[in-house]
Structure 1
Amino acid sequence: MDGLKKHIEEITPITNEEFDYIKTFFKEKKVKKHQYLLQDGDKVTSEYWIVKGIFRAFHIDKDGKEHILQFALENWWFSDYNAFFSQKESNINIVCMDDAEVLCLTLSGREQLASEFHKMEHFFRMKLTSGYSAQQRRIISLLSNNPKKRYEEFASLYPNIMQKIPKKYIAEYLGVSRETLSRLYSTTSRD
């Protein structure tokens, strides 16, 4: 859990004593490749901080088509936040893309930490704000950019993801065919 302390301290300083208390709110969980962390219809009881691994969050529409909402990597927080904060059932799926380890935090634990430590309230607010901003950038990009520009933004923002995620999922995330992604990849790598 030392990584979590370092992660929190990127935003706000905490003492070892404070961290000893904070870490009691987290539960470690190992997740195998292809294992679901969350499925459509599950009650969402936790948000997750990724210690190691990569996850894919997606929604399946009424026609059975998968729509990738996000990838999540080490040091990222993720969940179905709509369901998490309303304590309702999920309408997304989160699947592990390679063996992983996460720390789980319940909503009541999060609320207790935020009420007891202004530092943690600030930390959670900054993380949520950052996530919301990233989501808004993604929506705007999907609505206004052509496939080449979306690919370039993705490659620029997440260069370490490109080698770790199968191309078919990157294509799906960008809203292009696998063939289009291959053309974009070969065009950009020659530039």
Structure 2
Amino acid sequence: METIFTEFRQHIEEISKLTDDEFEYILSHFVKKKFRKHQFLIQQDEPVKYEYFVLNGCVKAYTLDHDTKMHILQFGMQDWWIGDYQAYFKQIPATLYVDCIEDTEVLCLTLENREKLCTEMHKFEHFTRKKLNSGYVALQQRILSLLNSTPKERYEQLLVQYPSLFQKVPKQYIAAYLGVSRETLSRLNSVVK
């Protein structure tokens, strides 16, 4: 079995232990795809077919405002899930863009296959429920941070939580994620170091 699939299995088994047959069955419901740097996984107003598990690489999920200013909601690095969940679960056109910051390899799961796996396998349903709960908690923490923290506090928090992000992601994307200008980010970078 490919090493990347072993890592995917380990990711699931942090929550739900699997037999070899169970893992092979789960994996059979995913499609592996490769994307190049700057290639879109999801484009706003288009159908959203998949939720993505990042095997390697880095992606960003974002929206553009009326002035075409980018607002990044989430990054996705190795072992992270990413998608436009509103569009995915409600089966409506995408509200976000998701594109590659670098060459990226993902496992893709359709909603139909997700529902099938959750219905047929309690272990997979348990895994997805725990992951969704973690995602809700992270989203709430992010919103509270944007509402209650200074840019410096948000920068320091991101640096502590995801130090590898700063090696993978260009500064303008870090600034768009933190909700600050590139100049403010440069000032924060010099103050914090």
TM-score of the two chains, using structure 2 as the length reference: 0.96
**For this pair of structures, how many residues does the alignment match?**
189
* CA gap 1:63/1:179 in 2 versus in 1, 3 angstroms: closer
Q: Find the aligned partners of 1:31 and 1:87 in 2 and give their Cα distance.
A: 23
1:150 aligns with 2:151: no
Q: Identify which of 165, 175, 181 aligns with 2:179.
A: 175
Read off the aligned partner of 1:167 and give its amino acid letter.
K
Correspondence for 2:103 among 99, 107, 112: 99
Is 2:144 the counterpart of 1:134?
no
Which residue of the partner structure matches residue 7 of structure 1? 11
The C-alpha deviation readout for 1:101-153, integer Å capped at 9, x for no partner, is: 00000001001111111111000001111111111111100011111101011
Greater CA deviation, 29-38 or 2-11? Answer: 2-11
Distance of 2:60 and 2:22 partners within structure 1: 32
Shift of 1:63: 2.9
Amino acid at match of 1:184: L
Amino acid across the alignment from 1:21: Y
**Residue correspondence of structure 1 range 1-191 to structure 2 within 5 A:** 1-189=5-193
RMSD of Structure 2 on Structure 1 (CA): 0.8
Distance 1:159 1:7 in 2: 20
Distance 2:182 2:68 in 1: 19
Any idea what the Cα deviations from partners look like across 1:56-80, whole Å, max 9, x if unmatched? 1111123322211111111011110
